[in-house]
Structure 1
Amino acid sequence: MNTPIKNQILSHKSWKDLEPKVNENLETYDSYYERIEKLNYSHIPKEVIHQWIFPLYNDQNSIKNYSWIDLSKVKFDLIEVKTSFFNDLSIIDDNKKMVNEYPINKFALWHRKFWEDNGTWEIPPIIIDVASFINEKPDNSEMNGKYQLIEGHNRLGTLKLLLKDGRIKIVEKHSVWVMLIED
């Protein structure tokens, strides 16, 4: 009798569908997006694919925490949240230091101009509505809290850094992508 290995990560078929091709001819982002769009994943915003699934597909934190989700049944809402929203946002353990102790020398000059002009990030981070998935969550997933940051740890670290620094005026609302179960 085969017994499952405790805490074994079982990736959902939809996660496997989205695997970038990494053979000798590395897949470009554009060819990747064209391919997965034909697989009925066009409901996942191109911006989400570009910043999370394509570059972080093989990242151990993405696999452990999110690869079990049926991505064919999710939706992504682009919403605005108050700056105070990020005070209670859950962060996986491996990324807490990156967010909470973001070094000023990592704040790139090309980001500075956008922050100075807009008081927020250029590309919205990706957040998961934990309640949508909590009943399906495997034990080894670190998903907790009401909302958890999936991708955008450097941006959130920058926001926290700039709030402490005070030299750049931060706006009251910021755009985020929120992943939840499709109704």
Structure 2
Amino acid sequence: MLVRLEDLPAADRDQGISVFATLPAIARLDWPGEVVEQWLYDHGRHLEFLDDYGSLDLSRIRWTLKDVAVDDLKAIPTGRSDQDWLDEVAAEHRRWLSLRPQRYRDAWEDHGSWLVPPILITRALLYPRSLGLQVIEGRMRVGILQGRLADGLHVADVHRAWVGSA
């Protein structure tokens, strides 16, 4: 059964993620909690997400927590509505990272990666003949990675990420 972002209930901040994740339409997707929280709960109703991913059949996506090579993240795109923002974060990565809590800054300095795995999908879900990955949520994390790479700062060779594919 086809499920799109607009078919799902909006997150009710008063109820919280634990209630949202148990709503029948959300639970039927059988997605990992981190993916539900970062994408559907935190951003599912944002206009940019509806524009970029509104036609995507969410019921087809299966998630795997994977190690993704840094080479696959160097130029990874995001939705067209937010690509400029991803590029801005990369260009100003030091400033954006300075706004994050100390534990996030320490993770980059000590381990060369993020603390929370971002949400990526295979581009073939959106464009059937496309290869590679696309950032759904975690654009700031990926932008910081891209900026650190461009500036020759410490970045790990692999990074944990939730990867959705058909």
Query: Residue in 1 aligned with 2:10?
Result: 20
What is the alpha-carbon root mean square deviation over aligned residues? 2.5
What's the CA shift for 1:38?
Answer: 7.4
Q: How does 1:92-131 map to 2 (within 5 A)?
A: 92-102=79-89, 103=92, 104-107=94-97, 108=100, 109-131=102-124
What's the CA shift for 1:65?
Answer: 2.0
What's the CA shift for 1:118?
Answer: 1.9
1:108-165 per-position Cα deviation (integer Å, ceiling 9, x unaligned)? 2331112223211111111221224435xxxxxxxx6632211111001111222234
Q: Number of aligned residue pairs: give it.
A: 158
Distance in structure 2 (CA, Å) of the matches to 1:97 and 1:133: 19
Asked if the contact 1:129/1:147 (under 8 Å) is kept, the reply is yes
CA shift in 2, pair 1:73/1:26, >3 Å: same
1:2-38 per-position Cα deviation (integer Å, ceiling 9, x unaligned)? xxxxxxxxxx54534532354xx83311211122487
Distance in structure 1 (CA, Å) of the matches to 2:133 and 2:39: 17
User: Which AA in structure 2 matches 1:27?
Assistant: Q
* 1:148 aligned onto 2:134: yes
CA shift in 2, pair 1:19/1:112, >3 Å: same
User: Which AA in structure 2 matches 1:61?
Assistant: E
Query: Residue in 2 aligned with 1:139?
Result: none
> Which is higher, the Rg of structure 1 or of structure 2?
1
* 1:86 aligned onto 2:73: yes
CA shift in 2, pair 1:20/1:170, >3 Å: same
1:32-59 per-position Cα deviation (integer Å, ceiling 9, x unaligned)? 11224874222x1111111111111111
- In terms of mean alpha carbon deviation, does 91-100 or 54-63 score higher? 91-100
TM-score calculated relative to the size of structure 1: 0.73
Distance in structure 2 (CA, Å) of the matches to 1:99 and 1:172: 20
Distance in structure 2 (CA, Å) of the matches to 1:65 and 1:146: 17
* 1:72 aligned onto 2:59: yes
Aligned with 2:162: secondary structure?
Answer: strand
Gaps of 5+ in 2: none
What's the CA shift for 1:63?
Answer: 0.9
Asked if the contact 2:72/2:132 (under 8 Å) is kept, the reply is no
CA shift in 2, pair 1:46/1:39, >3 Å: closer
* 1:47 aligned onto 2:34: yes
Distance in structure 2 (CA, Å) of the matches to 1:61 and 1:48: 17
Gaps of 5+ in 1: 1-11, 136-143
Distance in structure 2 (CA, Å) of the matches to 1:110 and 1:156: 17
Identity rate of aligned residues, in percent? 24
Query: Residue in 2 aligned with 1:138?
Result: none
